[in-house]
């Protein structure tokens, strides 16, 4: 995953244009992503698909022709969606179009102006202070004209049409944690699901420009929305911070319970936070008309670290181990979703005699004897049609897998049958 | 308000008689109070309107004719509802009728004997210790005979017959916080409501003798009770303590939520306590037959300060600033009640595009940009028919007014319409 | 109760056999216990009634014929249900059948092998270390053959067929707290209930071999189960620890509320824990097919003290005062169950005038004036058909008895009548 991020890092992505298409091309080397292109001007709910933006070069050069700000050095230097310009102007005039972070003088900020035509450059505050009071050549060789918004979609069918949605934004330029980490973990989750022998749910992976992409997908796929039983937005999962799961608007959806459970047993620090209508695309999935059970899985939450939306969110900021542990968490969540169901105790009057069936020893894995015995007793006691395995695991304070293994062993002995 | 209290302070009020009528007369100089007189002997539920009590003079004089206890010095010196007496008796015999506060030797206690005929004097413990062992002339020039119980009522009609009840007791003699502070704040709240251009609710202000007054009003106005949608007893709001709101018996009535919300954002220390069937007239409004949503707003709760029911509850004990801040709280509560309602997001599928409508800048007042933006998002996200503005404000952790201004702005843009 | 425990202590009980029958015989000296004998081989749900086990003698003797382990010294020395043996064997071979507690070298452990044929000796670790490397004569003079499982039952009829179940296990040999304390408290509770003039509920006391006994009773009495309205397992109530009440599987059954209330007002340290499907026979009563409202009352919970299931659980470990206070708690719980009911305020509009009825003084007992007055007000305020006396007591924070006395006084004045 880290290597994949390194490969995607240099691309200048935006909400439209060649950069995001190139990104989809790289994802296609891992999973068979289908690409949808939606023409500029298409009405999607209250929004309009914007013009397509592309950029070839941009710089500010001094009187000696030296590029003091150079897009080739970092694609963060240009405000995303900057209109083209080619002009000579004094520093005074230029300054209205320069953005820096005085508190972090070595970092270049990330700025966009998608829905209001303007242009600008971002630079480190140190660079800014070095600018001399002279005239500069200012060039942005960009284009903003009718084209397409593109998004990538990978649908992996399962036993039922009910689906799990995994959504990532893919529109940020050279930002590693906010953007690329989610893309990488989602891609590798998809790869691992492809190879699983059987899937109860279908899986839909979306790689989208943030906000307008999710709105566009929802507008064009309204008939599919009712299939979404669980979902999460995946982003910011590569830094070294603890986990954050932000609940869906629903608040106690199965996906919310599954993430809370898996994180509780992850052995790492984590936080489960309430839904707020600010953040990533869970805002759109959780708008009142849809109210989908879609949460958001991150490590440190958006805005919760100074590197957020700066050049500090680079290849040093994300770590292979963090990515790998994040992937394990989402895989465990998927295992919970896949396996969670209710069972009925076929011998509900008093406890069945487990000893004569050798059941106390049949639970494999790393489950120790005491937990295995308690898991058997909890599953038998709560398999009354009102409790799914996840509810039992929560009540018992045991990991889902321990409860699942107990249920399998009991089902194998005919002491349990699937409910419903 | 403080001046008004100063004016009312010297009057010798009781649950019947000229003192409470004089008090109503003073209130009428501010608001058009209507007075109801109910004859002694009238049956009101389980109670009977008592005889009317009036007093002209009372004293205990020593052998030199010096008044050692003198009603003219403080109307607290006579136990309220004392029967007339004119006798000479030795100190020993007199002592059975004397009441003091040994722990607060400078204060005169406040005592009553409404429902059991007796007489007595209250005095400071210092005065008491100074009494010589001699005979005293004991005179109470009072009368206890058929008359009337009176209460004052001010009904301010609104757009609907649904009403907000504000109830104060007005039967305590020279006690400032417990009695006069509530009268003053209620009177000035009524004055401010009179001048408001529009009222959704009708408002009923009651000034009553405690217990028997509320019981009498409820007994004579049973057909009006179903109009009471919200209400609160107002008393003890002039001291320097933090706020106390005691919830209605209902427990989670709108009035309970409104007070809790306003106090949470008041910037002052406060406590919200559960209903108990002891305290002021919320006991009667909250009896099981009525179970009205009527709480009680105080600063320090009844009995929660040593000056309570003593001469220490005087003009020094109440403060103009405390009165003024208490009035602001009840005015804010009234604003919440008036404005709280549910809205429906007319663009519920994904977020509407706020930027193109300039909405991020249209929220006025002192609301800062970030809160204003969050308020817009919260109102849009939760305007689903299940959430009123107050519920949204609570969920968002923002003041009601911020949410209300956001709702107004969104409604102005057609993005919101009133629910129902 | 302590004397009764001393008398039962020497008997070698097991889940079948003469020891448990002798125990029932001793209980019959206090209450008219009826005995049921169920033949070995009887199928009870998923279980089979086992062979009956009896033992006359057992020892390990050295070459000098000295009994180095001797059943006559302590019946814990033999693993319960040991098959007969008479053999000479070297220490090495014997060791596979010896059980000790290295962490508590002076105590003999308690071990059983009910459902798997084997034999063994338990001994203190000190004894074990003293064994010399030589041949030993190993004798267990036991029998394991078709016979009966026996249980004792005492049914005390009340005004209704609805019953309270009190269940104790009686199958442990010389263990005082875990076994005998429950038997003693249950027996004395039964004695005290016999003499009460009137009982709303019927009471059923069960003295059973653990697990198989409860399963057998439930299997043979399924038609009676629906009469069980409340119940608790009673055991481990003689040690000096604080109280533990483990809730029924139902979780908020009346019995759970009653124990929690009584313990809260007991003045002693206590813990109320959630149901788990491990522990005593509440596991069987709380299996999903029955889901009976049966909790478990203990002092220190099973396994919560090192003496548990060792010779350390002896006559020094249980205390007369602990037994006596435990009996008081269960008696108070029974009083709550007997007296708890809902009332309706016959004067629900405003408070009735308590003073004129002298009610403030009619509450007897040790209830102080202020609590008595509050109890009257709470009962009147909440007697609306939705609150039983126990719920009122909980809401008021007053002991059930105070609330009950207030209700009696109010009913005596016609201000209250039974609901329903």
- Chain C hits for B290, Cβ within 8 Å: 349-350
Whole-angstrom distance, CA of residue A253 vs CA of residue B248:
33
Is C77 annotated as ligand-binding?
A: no
Is A148 annotated as ligand-binding?
A: no
Nearest to B345 among A222, A286, A288 (CB): A288
Establish if B49 touches chain C: CB-CB under 8 angstroms.
Answer: no
Does the pLDDT of residue C364 top 60, yes or no?
Answer: no
Whole-angstrom distance, CA of residue A334 vs CA of residue B301:
54
- Chain C hits for A377, Cβ within 8 Å: 277-278, 283
User: What pLDDT is recorded for position B361?
Assistant: 56
Tell me the average pLDDT across C255-270.
97
Does residue C15 sit in the same domain as residue C68?
Answer: no
Q: Do B47 and C381 touch (CB under 8 A)?
A: no
Does residue B231 sit in the same domain as residue B287?
Answer: yes
Over chain C, what is the mean pLDDT?
Answer: 95
Contact between B62 and B68 under an 8 Å Cβ cutoff? The reply is yes
Establish if C294 touches chain A: CB-CB under 8 angstroms.
Answer: no
Pick from A350, A370, A384, A415 the residue to mutate for testing the C interface (most C CBs within 10 Å).
A350
Establish if A345 touches chain C: CB-CB under 8 angstroms.
Answer: yes
Tell me the pairing of strands C294-298 and C228-234.
Answer: parallel
Q: Give the tens place of pLDDT for each residue, B81-137.
A: 999 999 999 999 999 999 999 999 999 999 999 988 999 999 999 999 999 999 999
SS3 for chain B is CHHHHHHHCCCCCCCCCHHHHHHHHHHHCCCCCEEEEEECCCEECCEECCCEEEEEEEEEECCCCCEEEECCCCHHHECECECCEEEEEEHHHHHCCEECCCCCCCCCECCECCCCCECCEECCHHHHHHCCCCEEEEEEEEEEECCEEEEEEEEECCCCCCEEEEEEECCCCCCHHHHHHHHHHHHHHHHHHHCCCCCCCEEEEEEECCCHHHHHHHHHCHHHHHHEEEEEEECCCCCCCCEEEECCCCCCCHHHHHHHHHHHCCCCCEEEECCCCCCCCHHHHCCCCCCCCEEEEECCCCCCCCCCCECCCCCCCCCHHHHHHHHHHHHHHHHHHHHCCEEEECCCCCCCCCHHHCHHHCCCCCCCHHHHHHHHHHHHHHCEEEEEHHHHHHHHCCCHHHHHHHHHHHHHCCCEEECC
Question: In this structure, what CATH number is given to the domain that contains residue A267?
Answer: 3.40.630.10
- The tokens describing B171, both together, are 């039967």
Its domain, for residue B139, covers 52-145
Does residue B366 sit in the same domain as residue B399?
Answer: yes
Q: Give the tens place of pLDDT for each residue, C316-329.
A: 999 999 999 999 99
Question: In this structure, what CATH number is given to the domain that contains residue C376?
Answer: 1.10.10.10
From first CA to last CA, the distance across chain A in angstroms is: 41
Angle, alpha carbons A151-A155-A161 (nearest 5°):
130
Q: Do C384 and B45 touch (CB under 8 A)?
A: no
Does residue B278 sit in the same domain as residue B178?
Answer: yes
Q: Chains near B, with 3+ CB pairs < 8 A?
A: A, C
User: What pLDDT is recorded for position A73?
Assistant: 97
Whole-angstrom distance, CA of residue B211 vs CA of residue B284:
7
Residues found in chain A: 420
Whole-angstrom distance, CA of residue B297 vs CA of residue B234:
5
- Chain B hits for C383, Cβ within 8 Å: 288
Q: Give the tens place of pLDDT for each residue, C59-69.
A: 999 999 999 99
Collapsed DSSP state (helix, strand, coil) of residue A11: coil
Q: Do C380 and B287 touch (CB under 8 A)?
A: yes
What is the least distance, in Å, from the CA of C266 to any CA of chain B?
24
Give the nearest chain A residue to B383 (CA atoms): A288
Which residues of chain A fall short of a pLDDT of 70? 360-368
Q: Do C350 and B115 touch (CB under 8 A)?
A: no
Pick from C287, C290, C291, C303 the residue to mutate for testing the A interface (most A CBs within 10 Å).
C287
Establish if A351 touches chain C: CB-CB under 8 angstroms.
Answer: yes
Last residue of a domain, one of C311, C339, C367: C339
User: What pLDDT is recorded for position C42?
Assistant: 98
Establish if C351 touches chain B: CB-CB under 8 angstroms.
Answer: yes
Which pLDDT band holds residue C361 (cuts at 50, 70, 90)? Answer: low
Q: Do B381 and A249 touch (CB under 8 A)?
A: yes
Q: Do A288 and B380 touch (CB under 8 A)?
A: yes
Number of domains in chain C: 3
Does residue A273 sit in the same domain as residue A402?
Answer: no
What is the least distance, in Å, from the CA of B41 to any CA of chain C?
15
- The tokens describing B358, both together, are 């300039």
Whole-angstrom distance, CA of residue C111 vs CA of residue C114:
10
Q: Chains near C, with 3+ CB pairs < 8 A?
A: A, B
Establish if B377 touches chain A: CB-CB under 8 angstroms.
Answer: yes
Pick from B248, B274, B288, B289 the residue to mutate for testing the C interface (most C CBs within 10 Å).
B288
Neighbours of B34 (CB within 10 A): 11
What is the least distance, in Å, from the CA of C373 to any CA of chain B?
10
What is the least distance, in Å, from the CA of B334 to any CA of chain A?
28
Pick from A342, A343, A344, A349 the residue to mutate for testing the C interface (most C CBs within 10 Å).
A349
Over chain B, what is the mean pLDDT?
Answer: 95
In sequence order, which residues have a C-beta less than 8 Å from that of residue A6 and are 6 or more positions away? A315
Does residue B57 sit in the same domain as residue B78?
Answer: yes
Nearest to C115 among A345, A355, A378 (CB): A355
- Chain C hits for B288, Cβ within 8 Å: 345, 348, 380-384
Q: Give the tens place of pLDDT for each residue, B238-292.
A: 999 999 999 999 999 999 999 999 999 999 999 999 999 999 999 999 999 999 9
Does residue C57 sit in the same domain as residue C41?
Answer: no
Does the pLDDT of residue C363 top 70, yes or no?
Answer: no
Q: Give the tens place of pLDDT for each residue, C139-156.
A: 999 999 999 999 999 999
Q: Give the tens place of pLDDT for each residue, A190-233.
A: 999 999 888 999 999 999 999 999 999 999 999 999 999 999 99
Pick from A288, A290, A294, A303 the residue to mutate for testing the B interface (most B CBs within 10 Å).
A288
- Chain A hits for B377, Cβ within 8 Å: 277-278, 283
Whole-angstrom distance, CA of residue C73 vs CA of residue A245:
62
Q: Give the tens place of pLDDT for each residue, C334-353.
A: 999 999 999 999 999 999 99
User: What pLDDT is recorded for position A126?
Assistant: 97
User: What pLDDT is recorded for position C365?
Assistant: 46
Does residue A279 sit in the same domain as residue A155?
Answer: yes
Does residue C105 sit in the same domain as residue C203?
Answer: no
From first CA to last CA, the distance across chain C in angstroms is: 41
User: What pLDDT is recorded for position C21?
Assistant: 98
Question: In this structure, what CATH number is given to the domain that contains residue C65?
Answer: 3.50.30.90
Establish if A46 touches chain B: CB-CB under 8 angstroms.
Answer: yes
- The tokens describing C221, both together, are 């009495």
What is the least distance, in Å, from the CA of C2 to any CA of chain A?
33
Does residue A10 sit in the same domain as residue A41?
Answer: yes
Does residue C261 sit in the same domain as residue C401?
Answer: no
How large is the greatest C-alpha to C-alpha distance in chain B, in angstroms?
A: 92
Give the nearest chain A residue to C46 (CA atoms): A352
Packing angle between helix B320-339 and helix B182-194, nearest 10 degrees?
A: 50
Whole-angstrom distance, CA of residue B415 vs CA of residue B346:
5
Which pLDDT band holds residue B362 (cuts at 50, 70, 90)? Answer: very low
Q: Do B287 and C348 touch (CB under 8 A)?
A: yes
Last residue of a domain, one of A300, A319, A339: A339
Q: Do A287 and B383 touch (CB under 8 A)?
A: no
Whole-angstrom distance, CA of residue A392 vs CA of residue B419:
40
Nearest to A115 among B356, B374, B384 (CB): B356
DSSP state of A248: P
Last residue of a domain, one of A276, A310, A339: A339
Residue identified by tokens 């950029």 is: A55
Does residue C361 sit in the same domain as residue C271?
Answer: no
Q: Do A45 and B349 touch (CB under 8 A)?
A: yes
Burial of C90 (0-12, 13-18, 19+ CB in 10 A): exposed
Query: Chain C 114-143, CB below 8 Å of chain A: which residues?
Result: 115-116
Establish if B353 touches chain A: CB-CB under 8 angstroms.
Answer: yes
- The tokens describing C198, both together, are 């009137």
Is C265 annotated as ligand-binding?
A: no
> Nearest Cα to B84, choosing from B118, B107, B44, B125?
B118
Q: Do C289 and A348 touch (CB under 8 A)?
A: yes
SS3 for chain C is CHHHHHHHCCCCCCCCCHHHHHHHHHHHCCCCCEEEEEECCCEECCEECCCEEEEEEEEEECCCCCEEEECCCCHHHECECCCCEEEEEEHHHHHCCEECCCCCCCCCECCECCCCCCCCEECCHHHHHHCCCCEEEEEEEEEEECCEEEEEEEEECCCCCCEEEEEEECCCCCCHHHHHHHHHHHHHHHHHHHCCCCCCCEEEEEEECCCHHHHHHHHHCHHHHHHEEEEEEECCCCCCCCEEEECCCCCCCHHHHHHHHHHHCCCCCEEEECCCCCCCCHHHHCCCCCCCCEEEEECCCCCCCCCCCECCCCCCCCCHHHHHHHHHHHHHHHHHHHHCCEEEECCCCCCCCCHHHCHHHCCCCCCCHHHHHHHHHHHHHHCEEEEEHHHHHHHHCCCHHHHHHHHHHHHHCCCEEECC
In sequence order, which residues have a C-beta less than 8 Å from that of residue A75 and are 6 or more positions away? A10, A11, A12, A173, A174
What is the least distance, in Å, from the CA of B407 to any CA of chain A?
15
Kindly provide the ipTM of the predicted complex, given to two decimals: 0.94
Q: Do C215 and A350 touch (CB under 8 A)?
A: yes
> Nearest Cα to A52, choosing from A204, A288, A202, A212?
A212
């Amino acid at each position: 995953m880290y290597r994949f991020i390194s490969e995607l890092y240099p691309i200048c992505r935006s909400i439209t244009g060649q950069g995001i298409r190139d990104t989809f091309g790289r994802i296609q080397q891992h999973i068979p992503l289908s690409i949808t292109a939606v023409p500029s001007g298409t009405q999607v709910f209250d929004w309009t698909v914007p013009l397509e933006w592309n950029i070839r070069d941009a710089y500010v050069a001094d009187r000696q022709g030296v590029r003091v700000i150079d897009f080739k050095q970092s694609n963060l230097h240009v405000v995303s969606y900057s209109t083209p310009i080619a002009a000579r102007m004094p520093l005074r005039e230029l300054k209205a179009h320069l953005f820096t972070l005085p508190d972090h003088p070595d970092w270049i900020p990330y700025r966009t102006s998608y829905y209001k035509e303007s242009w600008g450059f971002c630079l480190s505050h140190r660079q800014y202070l070095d600018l001399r009071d002279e005239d500069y050549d200012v060039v942005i060789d960009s284009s903003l004209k009718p084209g397409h918004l593109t998004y990538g979609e990978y649908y992996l069918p399962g036993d039922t049409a009910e689906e799990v949605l995994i959504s990532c934004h893919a529109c940020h330029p050279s930002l590693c944690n906010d953007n690329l980490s989610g893309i990488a973990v989602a891609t590798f989750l998809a790869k691992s699901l492809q190879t699983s022998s059987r899937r109860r749910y279908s899986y839909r992976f979306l790689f989208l420009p943030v906000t307008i992409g999710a709105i566009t997908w929802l507008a064009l796929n309204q008939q599919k929305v009712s299939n979404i039983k669980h979902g999460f937005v995946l982003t910011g999962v590569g830094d070294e911070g603890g986990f954050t799961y932000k609940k869906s608007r629903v608040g106690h959806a199965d996906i919310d319970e599954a993430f809370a459970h898996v994180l509780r047993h992850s052995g790492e620090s984590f936080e489960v936070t309430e839904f707020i209508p600010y953040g990533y695309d869970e805002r759109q999935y959780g708008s009142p008309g849809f109210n989908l059970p879609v949460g958001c899985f991150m490590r440190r939450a958006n805005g919760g670290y100074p590197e957020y939306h700066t050049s500090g969110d680079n290849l040093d900021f994300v770590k292979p181990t963090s990515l790998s542990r994040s992937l394990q968490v989402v895989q465990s969540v998927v295992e919970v979703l896949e396996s969670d169901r209710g069972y009925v105790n076929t011998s509900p009057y008093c406890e069945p005699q487990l000893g004569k069936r050798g059941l106390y020893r049949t639970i494999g894995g790393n489950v120790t004897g005491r937990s295995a015995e308690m898991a058997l007793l909890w599953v038998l006691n709560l398999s009354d049609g009102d409790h799914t395995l996840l509810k039992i695991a929560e009540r018992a304070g045991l990991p889902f897998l321990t409860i699942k293994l107990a249920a399998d062993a009991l089902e194998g002995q005919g002491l349990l049958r699937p409910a419903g």
